[in-house]
């Protein structure tokens, strides 16, 4: 994988790419707070099957610039479309992880003719369990009262991630406002509209997007296949990259 940059809508976007000279393209959309580099091993496995593999640092993450104004899922979707157009990506096999999963669903609905197959990995499509905007702000204020305590930062981050299942405090400014827009959109009601072949891959012990979400997505997308990775958690691309890569390859056709 080599790193390259491209200008999209005035933003300098960094991405990693493995070119195989193939007409088949595999595009990976990472999760919130993540970056392209974390998908190197999985990308290597997919590229071994003859695919061109592309993983952008989505705007506001990794080495890519953040938007000037808060973005919602539709804004990110338009970005992905322009990114694919500029790179000449066609016949796309599209994978989305966590937040990237909700983005992949949106893209597949808006541009179904561009997607050959959809892969949803621990996809954050069901938002009913996330913190509301007002509650996120209230909890943040409460935590600040205890900022004098030792290990305050670690405890606060852990509480948000594993108890409240929220990345609210890990962002600020434009990205914090973007985060609130993103978590405000539940895609459960539109999943039935997906007609593209879909593979749903989930870690059995996912503590961020629970298994019940995987079953719900599987039920709502007709003909979709659910693949469960025993013992796997939410961060499959980092903790189980070989297994995840193998499951993707096994379900490409």
**For residue range 216-241, what is the model confidence (pLDDT) as tens digits?**
999 999 999 999 999 999 999 999 99
Residue-level pLDDT at 154: 57
The CATH code of the domain that includes 67 is 3.40.50.1820
Which tokens in the block code for residue 156?
A: 């606060």
- The verdict on residue 244 lying in a domain is yes
* 68 lies in some domain: yes
* 153, part of any domain: no
162 in a domain, yes or no?
A: no
92-97: strand order across its sheet: 2-8, 11-18, 52-56, 25-29, 92-97, 115-121, 198-203, 225-229
Choice between 145 and 52, residue whose per-residue pLDDT is larger: 52
Tally of domains in the chain: 1
Q: Any idea which residue has 């995987």 for tokens?
A: 214
**Can you give the pTM of this predicted structure?**
0.85
Mean pLDDT of the 74-99 span: 96
The per-residue pLDDT for 144 is 64
pLDDT tens for 1-40 read: 899 999 998 999 999 999 998 889 999 999 999 999 999 9
Question: Mind listing the pLDDT tens digit for each residue in 134-182?
Answer: 555 555 565 566 566 665 555 555 544 444 445 545 556 899 999 999 9
β-strands 11-18, 2-8: how paired?
A: antiparallel
pLDDT of residue 233: 96
- 180-193 residue pLDDT tens: 999 989 999 999 99
Residue indicated by tokens 């983005």: 103
In the block, which residue shows the tokens 């981050």? Answer: 157
pLDDT of 133 > 60? The answer is no
User: Mean pLDDT throughout 76-82?
Assistant: 97
Residue 197 lies in a domain: yes
CA dihedral 69→130→156→144, nearest 10 degrees, is 60
Structure tokens at 202: 């989930």
pLDDT: which is higher, 94 or 142: 94
CB distance 183 to 126 below 8 Å? no
Average pLDDT, the chain: 88
**C-alpha dihedral sign at 196, 223, 36, 79:** positive
Note the pLDDT of residue 21: 85
Is residue 224 situated within a structural domain?
yes
State the alpha helices, DSSP H only, in 190-240.
211-220, 236-239
Q: What is the pLDDT of residue 173?
A: 81
Confidence of residue 205 (pLDDT cuts 50, 70, 90): very high
> What range does the domain containing 222 cover?
2-129+185-250
Residue 100 lies in a domain: yes
More confident residue, 161 or 56: 56
Q: Is 203 helix (H, G, I), strand (E, B) or coil?
A: strand
* Residue 193 covered by a domain: yes
Q: For strands 115-121 and 198-203, give the pairing.
A: parallel
pLDDT score recorded for residue 30: 98
């Amino acid at each position: 994988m080599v790193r390259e940059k491209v200008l999209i809508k005035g933003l300098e976007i960094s991405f990693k790419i493995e070119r195989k000279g193939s007409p088949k393209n595999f595009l990976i959309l990472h999760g919130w707070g993540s970056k392209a580099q974390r998908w190197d091993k999985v990308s290597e496995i997919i590229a071994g099957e003859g695919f061109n593999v592309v993983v952008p640092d989505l705007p506001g993450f990794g080495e890519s610039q953040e938007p000037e104004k808060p973005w919602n899922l539709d804004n990110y979707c338009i970005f992905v479309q322009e990114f694919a157009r500029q790179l000449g990506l066609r016949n796309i096999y599209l994978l989305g992880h966590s937040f990237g999963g909700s983005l992949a669903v949106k893209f597949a609905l808006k541009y179904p003719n561009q997607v050959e197959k959809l892969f949803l990995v621990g996809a954050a499509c069901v938002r009913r369990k996330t913190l509301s905007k007002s509650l996120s702000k209230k909890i943040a204020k409460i935590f600040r009262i205890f900022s004098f305590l030792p290990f305050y930062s670690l405890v606060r981050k852990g509480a948000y991630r594993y108890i409240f299942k929220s990345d609210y405090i890990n962002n600020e400014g434009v990205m914090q406002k973007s985060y609130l827009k993103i978590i405000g959109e539940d895609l459960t009601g539109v999943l039935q509209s997906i007609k593209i072949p879909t593979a749903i891959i989930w870690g059995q012990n996912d503590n961020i997007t629970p298994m019940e979400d995987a079953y719900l997505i599987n039920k709502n997308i007709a003909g979709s296949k659910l693949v469960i990775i025993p013992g796997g958690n939410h961060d499959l691309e980092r903790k189980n990259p070989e297994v995840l890569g193998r499951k993707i390859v096994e379900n490409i056709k």
